[in-house]
Amino acid sequence: MEHAATADAKPLAGPLPEVSGLLDGLPRQRVRTAPAPSSAAPAQSVGRLAGLRLRPWRILPTPTGTPFTFGFAAVLVVTSLITTYASPSLVYALHQGSSTDVAHLIRTPVLVLLASALWVAGGLASPYVLCFLLVLTALERRIGGARTAVVFLLGHVLATLVTEGAVGLGVLFGDLPHTSLHRLDYGISFGVASSVGALAGLLTPWLRRPMLLLFGGMLVEDLIAFTDPMTNWGHLISLAIGVSCWPTVRHWHQAHTKQPTQHHPHPQTP
């Protein structure tokens, strides 16, 4: 008892911490002090927000990330400027020489099928320009530039051959006038429509369904308006071609994401 009294009588080295929950007379208790403000949690939160932050350059073409889409877009800008500022006679001659009408498809099919995709019907104000930039950029980032070109050309070529083939048959059986063999037919819309259909197969269902409903509904509305039925049917055919490519583009996407990164070997020191 005396020892305890002596211990109690010793002066304290410092004031007791102002905390609650301590038992009197029991030494070596854990002192629960208020946690000091730490910057770790805010830093982690900021890091998460930065990871979720939108990166605008990812949705638009870049020279290194999407070279095919970027180069193609640059060509379309040049041809659209020519359409805007060149003389009407020159513009008509260029469009007529690039047209995939029946007469040109019989004589120079490869040339006009490629050249017709270098022009934008309606110029840079066409909604297909914005669709081209967003859709082909997203598709190229998922499957690569060469495969994106294949999807675009597949819709552009096949839909053109189907629609112009129908025009040729219509002229042959007398349902269409002979001048239909020389109708101007050029633009990127068929290739864009097939790219939309292909990209939809790589998206989650909650993005895929609204995308197809919105774009497909727009094409059906144009067809009902009956202003240019051959072109409107070509858009729907192109969209269906892109949708039919889903197994292939999904395989390409898996192969593209699994491509090993190239490492440069370090020189060995002797």
For residue 122, give every residue at least 6 positions away whose Cβ sits within 8 Å of its Cβ, in sequence order, or none: 128, 187
The confidence score (pLDDT) of residue 58 equals 78
pLDDT of 5 higher than 80 = no
Question: Where is average pLDDT lowest: 33-37, 66-70, 116-120?
Answer: 33-37
pLDDT tens for residues 187-202? 999 999 999 999 999 9
Is the pLDDT confidence value at 246 over 80? Answer: yes
Cβ contact 120:76 at 8 Å: yes
Give me Rg for the CA atoms of the chain.
33
**Higher-scoring residue by pLDDT: 114, 49:** 114
d(CA 145, CA 173): 42
Treating both helix axes as pointing N-terminal to C-terminal, what angle do 205-225 and 229-244 enclose, rounded to 10 degrees? 160
Judged by DSSP in three states, 1 sits in coil
Query: Does residue 79 contact residue 123 with C-beta atoms inside 8 Å?
Result: no
**How many residues are recorded in the chain?**
270
Residue 258: its pLDDT value, please? 85
Higher pLDDT, 254 or 36: 254
Higher pLDDT, 51 or 126: 126
Structure tokens that stand for 75 in this block: 């060509």
What pLDDT is recorded for position 11?
A: 47
Q: Would you state the torsion angle of the CA atoms of residues 156, 161, 163, 169, taken in this order, to the nearest 10 degrees?
A: 170
Read out DSSP for 117-146?
A: GG--TTGGGSHHHHHHHHHHHHHHHHH-HH
pLDDT, average across residues 105-113: 97
Distance from C-alpha of 150 to C-alpha of 157, rounded to nearest angstrom: 10
CB neighbours (10 Å) of residue 151? 26
Q: Where are the alpha helices (DSSP H) in 144-270?
A: 145-172, 189-200, 205-225, 229-244, 246-257
28-32, 52-56, 105-109, 261-265: which has the highest mean pLDDT?
A: 105-109
**Mean pLDDT within 228-250:** 97
The token duo for 96 is: 């007529």
Can you give the pLDDT at residue 57?
Answer: 62
At 50-90, the pLDDT tens digits run: 443 556 667 899 999 999 999 999 999 999 999 999 999 99
pLDDT digits (tens, 9 = 90+) for 218-233: 999 999 998 999 999 9
Average pLDDT for 149-170 = 97
If we measure between CA atoms, which residue out of 29, 26, 22 comes closest to residue 4? 26
State the CB neighbour count (10 A cutoff) for residue 240.
17
* pTM of the full structure: 0.76
Name the percent of the chain lying above pLDDT 70. 75
In sequence order, the 6+-apart residues with CB closer than 8 A to the CB of 82 are: 90, 91, 94
- CA neighbor of 145 nearest in space, from 252, 58, 246: 252
- Phi, psi for residue 109 in degrees, rounded to 5: -65, -45
